[in-house]
Amino acid sequence: SYVLTQPPSVSVAPGKTARISCEGNKIGTKSVHWYQQKPGQAPVLVIHYDSDRPSGIPERFSGSNSGNTATLIISRVEAGDEADYFCQVWDRSSDHVVFGGGTKVTVL
């Protein structure tokens, strides 16, 4: 089965840029989607199709995907960005949805 690997945690100072990686075999050939989950809340889609933002998501959120790594980029980080972030792909061979293990972003 397809596996997505994320770092458990990322720390960033306010106003700086956070980069969250999501590694998978030839992930650049797949579409990657990202979710933000704050404590006690349901996840929210923040990036779809590697780099597109749904309506209502700030421009500070962006993404890239190439080779074996997809990246969620949060620019000008704010205290309100502190949350868990999960990457997700669809594995065509198994018709299964796969999530990464999640990355906790801490704003210093």
Partner 1 sequence: EAHLEESGGGLVQPGGSRRLSCFVSGFTFSAYSMSWVRQAPGKGLEWVANIKKEGIEKSYVDSVRDRFTISRDNTKNSLYLHMNSLRAEDTAVYYCVRHRAGTGTTFFDYWGQGTLVTVSS
* Residues at the site binding partner 1, with contacts judged by CB under 8 A: 1, 30-31, 33, 35, 37, 42-45, 48-49, 54, 84, 86, 88-90, 92, 94-102
Residue among 3 and 15 whose Cβ is closer to partner 1: 3
Report CA Rg, the chain.
13
Residue among 16 and 36 whose Cβ is closer to partner 1: 36
Q: Where are the beta strands (DSSP E) in the chain?
A: 9-12, 18-23, 33-37, 44-47, 61-66, 69-74, 83-91, 96-99, 103-107
Backbone angles phi, psi at 27, to 5 degrees: -60, -25
User: Residue 98 Cβ, how far from partner 1 at the closest point, in Å?
Assistant: 7
> CA–CA separation, 89 vs 74, rounded Å?
20
User: Residue 105 Cβ, how far from partner 1 at the closest point, in Å?
Assistant: 14
User: Residue 65 Cβ, how far from partner 1 at the closest point, in Å?
Assistant: 12
Residue among 67 and 76 whose Cβ is closer to partner 1: 67
